[in-house]
Amino acid sequence: MEPSIIDTHAHLNDMADLANVLARAKAAGIRAIVAVGVNHDSDKKTLEIVSRFNNPEIYPPIYPAIGLHPGDINTSEPEGLFDFIEENIDKIVAIGESGLDYWYKEARKDGPARELQGRVFAKQVDIAKRHDKPIVIHSRGAWKECLKKTKEAGIKRAVFHWYSGPEDVLREILAEGYFMSAAPSCEYSPEHRKAIETAPLERMLLETDSPVVYKPASGRYKSEPKDVARVLKEVAKIKNVPEEEVAVMTTRNAGAFFNLS
Ligand SMILES: [Zn+2]
């Protein structure tokens, strides 16, 4: 029997052949999936997917998170989307994918792009705070700034997804009681492996960010939720603990973090 694990970050609306993808996840022992939207269109589709594939006999239970990703600000009309998030607040387990990304060309320096990202993120942090929802944070190149905004808003539950930033900021994130999540790049990314070494299992979630294409030495592949089992294996190796221990702990973490029933 495979250990029971949860993929806490998958973009199901970006996947072809979803019925088979989900059936494969079920067959691989994936216990649940958190489906994450990034803009108005994908948020709507994510909610539709949750109702359409609601069949625990053949698919893992799917829990939705909706938000506006910093890379998608221009594809959505933010105000309408914020209303949409609030209208659907009782259906979702988290706000996100939200955050800041200072690696985008237009956001490499202080200026209007960073300001806009900051306003859009602050708005979602505020929704999370008012409704006591956790927030799923994309923080590439803006790790410190994401932490600052989240902390200052008094957010209790935040996950810094696929964390690959500096160790000192990670230590502050952990000290604040926040989580990081381990993604399939842990098979080869030195920054991400370092973060997994630093974070205790008590503060870790597992995810795929599927359908991201990963490039381990064993060969590139397009990820899907079943590949969270690869993350489990690699995290167990990095932490030098049995897979079962990683599975039990991270599944318990995900249940408490997202308040899964
Ligand atoms: Zn993502």
Which CATH number belongs to the domain containing residue 109 in this structure?
3.20.20.140
Give residue 10 CA to ligand 1 midpoint distance, Å: 7
Give residue 209 CA to ligand 1 midpoint distance, Å: 5
What is the rounded distance in angstroms from the CA atom of residue 197 to the CA atom of residue 220? 24
Using one digit for the tens of pLDDT, what is the confidence trace for 134-188?
999 999 999 999 999 999 999 999 999 999 999 999 999 999 999 999 999 999 9
Structural domain boundaries, residue 33: 5-258
End-to-end CA distance of the chain: 23
Give residue 202 CA to ligand 1 midpoint distance, Å: 22
pTM of the complete model? 0.96
Distances (CA, A) of 101 to 140, 209, 249: 5, 16, 30
Using one digit for the tens of pLDDT, what is the confidence trace for 205-240?
999 999 999 999 999 999 999 999 999 999 999 999
The total domain count for the chain is 1
CA 142, 152, 193, 227 torsion-angle sign: negative
